[in-house]
């Protein structure tokens, strides 16, 4: 009898421990212009692959690949106030930048998240940190970028770039 009770208790405990809590994991918050707060939750795993392919297309100078990964209503906002609207303008901007500064990206980390956009709709984002190497007047410099990209249906809808150039330690 003791063995039967022990088996029944073990089965109950195993059953309870296998309950799947399907609520998404809250990982942060968004704040709208009125100060209202909404949850940011962990996002779908597959959108990080979209971002990796996008960066690979940039590093290989694959304009057709970049265009294929841009959404129809694509836009981008650069760290120095640049606004790029549409794939044609994006490819034109990149073509000049590739020729002038030969940018090369290395993804250091990426997080998939789902949250409320400025217009109040729920969207999926990849927030990723990068090392970017630029050639300025024959010398390579390294910048650090965090890019927040909205991804929908396997396409990059929009992204914002935040950038830092780190100073060098003083020799004093």
DSSP string covering 78-120: -TTS-EEESHHHHHHHHHHHHHHH--EEEEEEEEEEEEE-TTS
Length of the chain counted residue by residue = 172
Which sequence spans correspond to the domains of the chain? 24-164
Helix/strand/coil for 14: helix
Structure confidence by residue, pLDDT tens digits, 123-153:
999 999 999 999 999 999 999 999 999 999 9
- Which secondary structure element, helix H or strand E, spans residue 16, and what is its range? helix 2-17
User: Is 3.40.50.720 the CATH classification of the domain at 24-164?
Assistant: no
Say what the pLDDT of residue 10 is: 53
Q: How far apart, in whole angstroms, are the C-alpha atoms of residue 82 and residue 16?
A: 54
**pTM reported for the whole predicted model:** 0.81
Structure confidence by residue, pLDDT tens digits, 23-32:
788 989 888 8
Q: Where are the beta strands (DSSP E) in the chain?
A: 26-31, 37-42, 70-77, 83-85, 104-116, 122-136, 139-152, 155-164
């Amino acid at each position: 009898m003791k063995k039967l009770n022990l088996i029944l208790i073990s089965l109950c405990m195993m059953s309870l421990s296998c309950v799947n809590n399907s609520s998404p994991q809250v990982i942060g918050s968004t704040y709208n212009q009125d100060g209202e707060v909404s949850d940011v939750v962990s996002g779908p795993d597959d959108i990080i692959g979209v971002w990796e392919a996008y960066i690979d297309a940039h590093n290989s100078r694959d304009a057709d690949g970049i265009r294929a990964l841009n959404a129809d209503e694509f836009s981008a906002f650069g760290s120095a106030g640049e606004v790029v609207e549409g794939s044609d303008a994006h490819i034109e901007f990149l073509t000049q930048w590739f020729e002038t500064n030969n940018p090369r990206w290395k993804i250091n980390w990426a997080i998939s998240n789902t949250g409320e956009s400025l217009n109040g709709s729920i969207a999926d984002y990849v927030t990723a940190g990068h090392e970017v190497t630029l050639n300025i007047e024959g010398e390579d410099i390294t910048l650090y970028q965090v890019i927040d990209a909205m991804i929908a249906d396997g396409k990059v809808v929009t992204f914002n770039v935040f950038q830092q150039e780190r100073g060098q330690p003083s020799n004093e």
